[in-house]
Amino acid sequence: MVHAPVSLLPVSFPESYWKQACELAPLFNELVDRVSLDAEFLQDTLSRTKKVDAFTSRLLDIHSKMVEIGKKEDIRLGLHRSDYMLDEQTNLLLQIEMNTISSSFAGLGCLVSELHRSLLRQYGEHLGLDHKRVPGNPAVSGFAEALAKAWSEYSNPRAVVLIVVQPEERNMYDQHWLSTNLREKHNVRTVRKTLAEIEKGGVLQHDGRLLIGDEEVAVVYFRAGYAPADYPTEAEWSARLLIEQSSAIKCPSISYHLAGTKKVQQELAKLNVLERFVEKKEDISKLRKCFAGLWSLDDAEIVKDAIERPELYVMKPQREGGGNNIYGDDVRESLLRLQREGSEETAAYILMQRISPATSPAILLRDGVSHKDHAVSELGIFSAYLRSNDKVIVNDQCGYLMRTKVSSSDEGGVAAGFAVLDSIHLT
């Protein structure tokens, strides 16, 4: 067991941008929900990706089966995290991505905020920092409350929340913090199982109820299932299909999962696409303001520019979890290779404007060793959304995650080993 990698002190962040990010959370929640209900949009948007990306293809197959059998998710739960960076060139808060599956670090992120507040109470005067300027971070209680309310909507007090986990889960304490909160504050029991264990012990009753052993499952909360490595055999895919066919509330459902893909993000950034899902012009304007430049590899002008100036772009596949993106000269090489091969593989990627955040000095702690360096930070806003038919029960921003990494590192995942957990000091 090792401590989570953390920054010794919180990073400065302008309050106006913090408020903007918090205000966007309910809008993005609603947008994900609307997109998830438009099966035709999801299938059409990802149709070319399906041909060249086996993982996305399998997810789309499950989605198609649910459409065919007329499966409706009357109760929909989303525990999301929208990630942003403050771009130094434009002075705009720009969205990096919207995470709709396994939005991690609600548990440990809260503790880091508490740690920093505690340190500033003690040393703040000496450092010129005020502990009251570190915002409260109720992420774990917000997520737990939304899960508990979903569990309550299922209407079986003996049912459990099933947490789907990876076999060799390193980030278990982040998840245990949530389970503890559910048990102690809401009297909700959780069960942890891998997809393989669910395939082995899961049973779908004729009325749609999902049983694991003799436990009925009210809510399935995915902390695995977002990457190809989570499906090493057909057993894991069978488990995913079994869950999807059941009447358990899924977090996320297959349609929520697909709504968070990079290709869908890029499609939503196109002119007049947001209007399909959002009525209010002011909401469309707020959402669009935080969109970074996003392009398909069908855009010949942009591809040409990215080959000439690769430092201005990031090339992204349809993957979650950190460590997957392509940067710098590798962007040029990858685009030239795809052009030479003339393959359909271009549909597996999108191009995104490279965001340039300001650097600041930071002391990073990993494996008990401190390291001072110039660092950049990424703000994630946690949000919870729960809807039962036409009634919205929860639609809230509920905490945040600040991740800081050395400025020379391209990638940004904490679990992937690139970044450390941080909090913010409002300026």
Catalytic residue among 34, 65, 293, 321: 321
Catalytic residue among 29, 36, 82, 99: 99
**pLDDT classification of 413: cutoffs 50, 70, 90:** low
- Cα separation, 202 vs 226, whole angstroms: 20
Instruction: Output the pTM of the full model.
Output: 0.92
Catalytic residue status for 153 = no
Give a yes or no: residue 182 inside a domain.
yes
- Whether 260 and 252 have beta carbons less than 8 Å apart is answered as yes
pLDDT at 410 over 70: no
Give a yes or no: residue 338 inside a domain.
no
Catalytic residue status for 260 = no
The answer to the question of whether 137 is labelled as a binding residue is: no
Dig out the tokens for 279 from the structure.
């009525």
Using only C-alpha atoms, the chain has a radius of gyration, in whole angstroms, of 21
Give a yes or no: residue 422 inside a domain.
no
Catalytic residue status for 311 = no
Considering only 6-15, 275-284, 346-355, 382-391, which range has the smallest mean pLDDT? 346-355
pLDDT at 281 over 70: yes
Q: Which residue has the higher pLDDT, 155 or 317?
A: 155
Give a yes or no: residue 85 inside a domain.
no
Give a yes or no: residue 176 inside a domain.
yes
Catalytic residue status for 304 = no
Catalytic residue status for 320 = yes
Mean pLDDT estimate for the chain: 93
The answer to the question of whether 411 is labelled as a binding residue is: yes
pLDDT at 52 over 60: yes
The answer to the question of whether 334 is labelled as a binding residue is: no
DSSP 395-424: EEEEEEEEEEEETT-----TTTTS-EEE-E
The answer to the question of whether 109 is labelled as a binding residue is: no
pLDDT at 85 over 60: yes
Give a yes or no: residue 106 inside a domain.
no
**What confidence tens digit (pLDDT) does each residue in 202-245 have?**
999 999 999 999 999 999 999 999 999 999 999 999 999 999 99
pLDDT at 416 over 60: no
- Whether 30 and 137 have beta carbons less than 8 Å apart is answered as no
**Start-end of H helices in 38-171:** 39-45, 47-52, 54-68, 106-127, 139-154
Catalytic residue status for 399 = no
The answer to the question of whether 320 is labelled as a binding residue is: yes
CATH classification of the domain holding 143: 3.40.50.1760
* Angle formed by the axes of helices 54-68 and 234-245, nearest 10°: 30
Catalytic residue among 316, 334, 395, 423: 316
What type of residue is 316? Answer: K
**What confidence tens digit (pLDDT) does each residue in 291-313 have?**
999 888 888 898 999 999 999 89
Determine the distance from the C-alpha atom of residue 187 to the mean position of all C-alpha atoms in its chain, rounded to a whole number: 27
Q: According to the model, what pLDDT value does residue 417 have?
A: 57
pLDDT at 77 over 90: yes
Considering only 194-208, 258-272, 332-346, which range has the smallest mean pLDDT? 332-346
Q: According to the model, what pLDDT value does residue 419 have?
A: 86
- Cα separation, 256 vs 18, whole angstroms: 26
Give the domain extent around 279: 25-78+135-292+355-369+383-396
Catalytic residue status for 316 = yes
Catalytic residue among 50, 149, 193, 262: 262
The answer to the question of whether 171 is labelled as a binding residue is: yes
Give a yes or no: residue 262 inside a domain.
yes
The answer to the question of whether 415 is labelled as a binding residue is: yes
Q: Which 3 state secondary structure label does DSSP give 251?
A: strand
Give a yes or no: residue 310 inside a domain.
no
**What confidence tens digit (pLDDT) does each residue in 94-109 have?**
999 999 999 999 999 9
**What is the tally of structural domains in the chain?**
1
What's the length of the chain? 427
